[in-house]
Structure 1
Amino acid sequence: METKIYTLDQIDEAAAALKKGQLVAFPTETVYGLGADATNVEAVSHVYEAKGRPSDNPLIVTIADVATLEKFAQPLSDQVKLLIKTFWPGSLTIILPLKKDALSKTVTGGLDTAAFRMPANAATLSLIRTAGVPIVGPSANTSGKPSPTLAEHVYHDLKGKIAGILDDGPTDVGVESTIIDMSTDVPTILRPGAVTEDQLADVLGTVQGNKHKVGANETPKAPGMKYKHYAPDAQVEIVDHPSDFKAAVDWAGQQATKVGLMATDDILAKLDVPANVETYSLGADVAAASHLLFAGLRHFDLETEVATIFTQGFSNDGLGAAYMNRLNKSAGGVHFTNNKSVDK
């Protein structure tokens, strides 16, 4: 299959492909998603095949208006309506109980709930409206690899497996949306993102903020809770404190292989970097680092041959919670401390 790169003036053509049951990757403000008609079971099954995604890992349903949401979800509570008013379009995914048989179990991972999102990207909202159907929207990458923040990332992973990619340049946020479960008695964050726990608490009052994993025999209610995610071929190691970077660089300089180093500009400026260490700037702060994290991991995956990637950690609050959630999964919990790698 030839994978076409659609420009923004070819949205009609991309929408036609979706209506035919084909797969089209699309841009959002967070990462690129992999679209298929959410009401077409065969098309949705091809999403799992293209990504190599486990069948019990539910898919997000991406919509362009609240009327579509109301066709599938049970009547919306006042709290849900307030979330929609406050954060949509935007980087918040909301899990809701479904009307009976409203969506295929292929979409929901066998559950009676589904995750819904309205992204803040004009091109994708136009794509959905033109197609006339909601679309599933998992990240448009090979399952387990860093999420794509450029159309080129999607093409690398999925060329020949999907019909096309709607290219709208680099994404703005760089980490996937926050997921909040509104099907439970207490609203629960299942995945942190750009919409923070404090922002949600300001709207909802009480929020449960730490349900990010499930057991081996549980069915996850949201993506990213069970399976390995965001991992490049090289081993990522988290450097928690700026004071540890000198030791990490000293260790790297003793290696026979190349080593990658991802950190903010202020840290990179203070380091005497050996010849075998390649650096990648994470910008000035955690917001920039969140935007650049996946792009940096893919840089080392696609363009260099490194065995280890030392990556800066941040405080686990605010946007840092989303950044560290992705980085910890990418590293498999491996941290560099006192000249050695340790699991935490």
Structure 2
Amino acid sequence: METKIFSPEQIKAAAIDLAAGELVAFPTETVYGLGADATNELAVKKVYAAKGRPSDNPLIVHVADVATVKKYVAAFPEKAQKLTAAFWPGSLTLILNLKPNAFSKTVTGGLTTAAFRNPKNQVTLDLIRALGRPIVGPSANTSGKPSPTTAQHVNHDLNGKIAGIIDDGPTGVGLESTVLDLSGTTPTILRPGAVTKEAIEQVIGSIENNHHHVTAEEIPKAPGMKYKHYAPNAQVLVVKEPSEFRAAIAWAAKQELPFGVLATDDILGQSSDVRFKYQFSLGDSLTTASQHLFDGLRYFDLLPEVKLILAQGFSKEGLGVAYMNRLEKSAGQQYFTETN
């Protein structure tokens, strides 16, 4: 199969492929998603095959408006109304209880709930409207690898496996959406993102966090809770504090293994007198670091000689919660310490 690259002006052509049961990758403000008609079970099964994704890992359903969600859910609670008014379109995914047989088990992972998102990208909203049905949209990458933030990342992983990719340039946020479970008695964040716990609580009051890694016997209610995620080929070590980078680089240099440094400009500048060959800039702030984290991890994947990546950590506050959630998973929870 030849994977076509669609421009944003070719939405109708991309929608025709989706309607025919093909897969088309699409842009959002977070990462690129791998789209299929959510009402076509055979098309959705192709998503799992193309990504190599475990079949019990549920998919997020992307919609163009709240009215579409209401067609599928058993109830649309008041908190959902307040949250969609405040954050949709945007980087917030809501898990809601479904009507019986609303979607196939292929979409839900066998659960009675589904996750819904209204992305903040006009190209994709137009695509969903052109299709006339919601689309599933896990990240458009090989399962377990860093999520794609450009069409080129998608093409690298899925060229020849999907019908097309809509290229709308780099994504703005760079980290996947916040996933909030509204299907139980207490709203609970299952995956942190750019919409923070504090921002949500300003709208609906107290909520809980539950970012745990589920067991082999459990079915995850949201992506990223069970399986290996965001991992490049090289081992990642998180450097917790900026003051530790010089020691980390000196230690890595002694290992006689090519290593990369993934950090903000000030860290790279301060460490310039310590010899290291491979580096990738995360920009100048937590915001830019979040935008470029996956891009940086993928950059080092294109350098097979790099066996170790020293990556900058941030405080787990605000957006830092989501950034560290992804970085720690990419590192397998491994941190640099003076005793490494």
**Superposed displacement of residue 317, structure 1:** 1.4
Structure 1 partner of 2:89: 89
Match of 2:330 in 1: 330
Task: Return the alpha-carbon distance in structure 1 between the equivalents of residues 277 and 236 of structure 2.
Answer: 14
> Does the 8 Å contact 2:83/2:203 carry over to 1?
yes
User: Aligned-pair distance for 1:283?
Assistant: 1.0
Q: Matched residue of 1:179: which SS?
A: strand
Amino acid at match of 2:166: L
Contact 2:249 2:276 in 1 (8 A): no
Secondary structure at 1:334 match in 2: coil
Counterpart amino acid of residue 338 in structure 1: E
- Alpha-carbon distance change, 303 to 273 in structure 1, aligned in 2, over 3 angstroms: farther
For 1:105, the aligned partner's letter is K
Q: Which residue of 1 aligns with 2:23?
A: 23
1:98 aligns with 98
Distance in 2 (CA, whole Å) between partners of 1:264 and 1:64 is 36
What residue number does 1:284 align with? 284
User: Any conservation in 2 of the 1:264–1:285 contact (CA below 8 Å)?
Assistant: yes
The two structures have a TM-score, normalised by structure 1, of: 0.97
RMSD: 1.0
1:35 aligns with 2:12: no
- Offset at residue 214 of structure 1 (A): 1.5
1:273 deviates by 5.1
TM-score (norm 2): 0.98
Equivalent positions of 1:1-344 (< 5 A) are: 1-272=1-272, 274-303=274-303, 305-340=305-340
User: Do 2:95 and 2:182's aligned partners in 1 also have CA atoms closer than 8 Å?
Assistant: yes
Q: CA deviation at 1:285?
A: 1.3
Structure 2 portions without partners, runs of 5+? none
- In 2, Cα distance between equivalents of 1:289 and 1:312: 9
Tell me the alpha carbon deviations over residues 35-64 of structure 1, each in whole angstroms, 9 at most, x when there is no partner.
000000000000000000000000000010
Q: Which amino acid aligns with 2:53?
A: R
Tell whether the 8 Å contact from 2:233 to 2:301 is kept in structure 1 after alignment.
yes
1:242 is displaced (CA, Å) by 1.2
Aligned length: 340
Whole-angstrom distance in 1 between the partners of 2:131 and 2:305 = 41
Q: Matches of 1:76 and 1:256 in 2, distance apart?
A: 58
* Residue identity matched to 1:151: A
Structure 1: tracts of 5 or more residues without a match: none
Separation in 2, partners of 1:253, 1:247: 10
CA distance in 2, matches of 1:4, 1:256: 42
Identity of aligned residues (%): 61
